[in-house]
A and B are shown apart, each in its own frame.
Chain A
Amino acid sequence: MNIITRELRSNLKSLLIWSGSLIAVIVMMLSEFSAYYNNPDMAQIMESMPKALMDAFSMSNANLTTVSGYVSITVVYVNLMLGIYAVLLGNSIIAKEERDKTAGFLMTMPVTRTKVLIGKITVAIFNCMIVLAVVIGSLYIFTLKYNPDQEFYRFLWLITITTGIFEAVFLSIGLFLASAVKRYKVSSGIGLGILFALYVLSVLVSLSNKIDFLKYATPFKYFEASKLLQNDSIEGQYLNLSLAWIVLFMFLTFRIYNSRDLRD
């Protein structure tokens, strides 16, 4: 419990900064929407865009003149941001003890590394849920003036679940990297590198049918907002695949961290 309180406090500042920034980004994104809302001219302009371009930005199936359609195209950027937050948090919450050389203090306390990890991961998950709640809450509040229908709220709920899972995947990747890569200075870079590589891969998969099988490799393809909107449900296979990634990376995190030397 003491580790949890300590981590909550030490991560509070970054949590607030991220939350504030995310609210600002969402307000900006939604302010654009007023130009699209119930505007048939805009719909026409979008239709005249090249198909490949729309695919690349996963906008092909979106009707930008409705709240649901517009929000669906923002989801990929929201995911990108929350993914960055999660992978960096997962990495830093573990790696900082060695970076700041405080591991020599914390790990000489009468506490197992497993307990330290559990405390830290609990806080990381909690903070990820907070930023998720901030994002979804902002989407909810700042779309109120358009009186969205029931379908939108159902869609918002699906985004909440899927983005939460998406965050958890990248959080566990961040944790795993901090545990496996002894050079803490590079582990955050690798984390961000993986995140952006997977994003680029998801764009490439959208553009080409030949590499369709690679959709399983990138979480950006698991819960595409346009599909969620169309099907009104989450695809079970991707849900299981995500959970498998999370379990795998978490398992490796504990396994490796419990048996490796700590730097001084």
Chain B
Amino acid sequence: MDIIEISNLTKYYGKVKGIENVSFNVKEGEIFGFIGPNGAGKSTTIRTLLGLIFPTSGSAKLFGKDCIEFGSDIRSAIGYLPSEVFYYEKMKVKDLLKYSASFYKKDCTKRINELSEIMELNLNRRIEDLSYGNKKKVGIVQGLLHEPKLIMLDEPTSGLDPLMQQKFFDIISEENKKGATVFFSSHILSEVQHLCNRVAIIKEGHVIKVEDIKTLREDNYKKVTIKGNSLDYVRLNFEGVSQLVKYDHSSSFFYKGDVKFLIEAVAEQEIQDILIEDPSLEEIFMHYYK
């Protein structure tokens, strides 16, 4: 069953394009990554799904129901964590969480305590006294306290230290194992790669690719930079190499294929230094998803 069905979703802010003809589905139980650079339309899509903004045309269904018409119904099964969390400044964390829980027709006290313990959240502080990272923790607890069937995360990890990030991903994986579908946006490919089953890639308001994460791994491009005084550029242009750029005493290129073969080919050159890295998402967009 498809939890999210988006068809030809288009949103214009006046004359400014937000997203255009976005279509893809997210299956039940999936962890679905939504990647793209800033301003590509990730938040616009998520905010439309949540009914915060209205589509210009097209539609989206969550749990088989239209996200605008049945918005409040649908949202009882959604947990949402925005990229930057804002709450009522004067409220205590515990009151905010209680207020949030009061919208759901079940007792969430136990889950609030569990999650706060894992996230090491102090419930007695006021929202206004919290640091950015701590507000984010409140956001995580608030977004998950009602054990939602669909978890929507908009750039969730910004502001969390690596340790908390790990804890957060553990919680998300656990929720996923319990049956929750996870939809999350990010501009960090590596973050998406080890978590997601599938990804949609969005650029300038258009979804340019929906792909299995396995396929994306197979298409694993490496960005290679080598330094040397007498590089043989003809022999450098072996199979799998693209975008070969020559500098005075160095060269950079993208490589797709067997890494062993790459090492062997590079070893034949007289090199002084080598850097093999994952291309940035931007570079993938530029070279791969043209």
A contact set with B: CB distance below 8 Å: 2, 6, 10, 100-105, 107-112, 115, 259-262, 264
Contacts and interface: CB of A to CB of B under 8 A. Distances in A.
A112 B72 contact: yes
B51 interface: yes
A110 B73 contact: yes
A262 B88 contact: no
Nearest to A105: B87
Contacts of B76: 110
A207 B50 CA distance: 55
Nearest to A112: B72
B52 A2 contact: no
The residue among A100, A102, A104 with the most chain B CB atoms within 10 A of its own CB is A104
Contact of B52 (A108, A110, A111, A115): A108
Contacts of A103: 52
18 contacts: A6-B99, A10-B90, A102-B86, A104-B52, A105-B87, A107-B50, A107-B52, A108-B51, A108-B75, A109-B75, A110-B103, A112-B71, A115-B72, A260-B54, A261-B52, A262-B52, A262-B53, A264-B43
Interface string B211-242: 00000000000000000000000000000000
A105 B99 CA distance: 11
A259 B86 contact: no
Given A10-B90, A100-B86, A104-B82, A109 B103 contact: yes
Name the interface size band of chain B: 20 to 34
A236 to B, nearest CB: 41
A10 B102 CA distance: 17
B47 interface: yes
Contact of A108 (B13, B43, B80, B90): B80
Given A100-B88, A105-B86, A111-B103, A264 B73 contact: no
A10 B80 CA distance: 24
B103 A2 contact: yes
A123 to B, nearest CB: 15
Contacts of B85: 105
Contacts, number: 59
Contacts of B82: 104, 264
Contacts of B87: 102, 105
A224 to B, nearest CB: 41
Q: Is the interface of A mostly helix, strand, loop or mixed?
A: loop
Interface string B77-105: 01010100111111000000001101110
A108 B88 contact: no
Contacts of B53: 261-262
Contacts of B90: 10
A112 B76 CA distance: 11
The 8 closest A-B pairs by CB, nearest first: A110-B76, A101-B86, A2-B102, A261-B53, A109-B103, A110-B75, A112-B72, A108-B80
A102 B82 CA distance: 11
Contact of B89 (A100, A108, A110): A100
A257 B100 CA distance: 22
A110 B54 contact: no
Given A108-B80, A110-B104, A264-B52, A102 B71 contact: no
A111 B72 contact: yes
A108 B50 contact: yes
A124 B102 CA distance: 21
Given A102-B86, A112-B71, A264-B47, A259 B102 contact: no
Contacts of A102: 86-88
Contacts of B71: 112
A100 B128 CA distance: 12
Contacts of A105: 85-87, 100, 142
A262 B13 CA distance: 12
A256 B76 CA distance: 24
Given A111-B75, A259-B54, 15 more contacts: A2-B102, A100-B86, A102-B86, A102-B87, A102-B88, A105-B142, A107-B51, A108-B78, A110-B72, A110-B103, A110-B104, A111-B103, A112-B72, A115-B72, A262-B52
Contacts of A2: 99, 102-103
A18 B53 CA distance: 35
A165 B135 CA distance: 43
Nearest to B51: A107
Contacts of A100: 86, 88-89
Contacts of A261: 13, 52-54
The residue among A6, A107, A109, A260 with the most chain B CB atoms within 10 A of its own CB is A109
Contacts of A110: 72-76, 103-104
Contact of B88 (A10, A260, A264): A10
